Structure 1
Amino acid sequence: MDKSEMASKLKGANAYVPGKKVKLDFGDKGVIMLDGIGNEVNETDGAADTTIKINWADWEALSAGQLDPMTAFMMGKLSVDGDMSNAMQLQGVLSKLKG
């Protein structure tokens, strides 16, 4: 799955934190913005309440349930800038992807 397909899947699952902007930053692969203010998921970079930095391969493992978010964080594969509570809701986002 490429980033655009992932963005569409997240959008279809309404995978955003209500009232918050959470940016998934995949480095050279770009970003996916989970915009809980506009109730939108897009690939536009911009200011966010929380930015989650992770490489694409690790994100795919996370979204497939092969990598635990807390383990990824402890191993330094995932970093969080901004409001950590929004990042904690990432597991809910991931469960929407699997469901």
Structure 2
Amino acid sequence: MSDVISEAVKVLTEKMSGVDIGGTVKFEIEGEGAIMVDDEGVRAGDDEADVTLSADPETFQGMMEGETNPTSAFMTGKLKIDGDMGMAMKLASALA
């Protein structure tokens, strides 16, 4: 597992504490790997998900640090979303 993925799992675990997602989300970080988030927690993995969010490492890191708004990243094409948009929006508000 890459350092980027390890750090992202740690940060996402803190951000998602107490958030009920109601499904499965996958973050795909270009060139690094994938992270799964569900009501069980956060882990490195590449399983099927209700919604997949894909971004380059810089965009993903910006979202984790609160410097990049997930909605703005999506609107400018830096974040791609495939699947349940409602779940993606719920996740975006939890990350903000």
Same fold per superposition (TM over 0.5) = yes
What's 1:70 paired with?
71
Q: Equivalent residue for 2:11? A: 9
Match of 2:32 among 17, 29, 32: 29
**Aligned twin of 1:50:** 51
Q: Give unpaired runs (5+ residues) of structure 2.
A: none
Are 2:95 and 1:94 aligned?
A: yes
Paired residues of 1:17 and 1:86 also in contact (CA < 8 A): no
1:5-47 Cα offsets, whole Å, 9 max, x none, are 22023224445643300000112110010022xx121111110
CA distance in 1, matches of 2:27, 2:4: 14
Q: Which runs of 4+ in 1 moved over 6 A?
A: none
RMSD over aligned Cα, in angstroms?
Answer: 1.9
**Contact 1:17–1:89 (Cα < 8 Å) also in 2:** no
Superposition TM-score, scaled by structure 2 size: 0.82
Contact preservation (8 Å) 1:35, 1:41: yes
Q: Distance in 1 between matches of 2:14 and 2:74?
A: 26
Unaligned runs of 5+ in 1: none
Seen in structure 2, the aligned counterparts of structure 1 residues 46 and 90 have a Cα distance that, compared at 3 Å, is same
Aligned length: 93
Percent identity, please: 33
For normalisation by structure 1, the TM-score amounts to 0.80
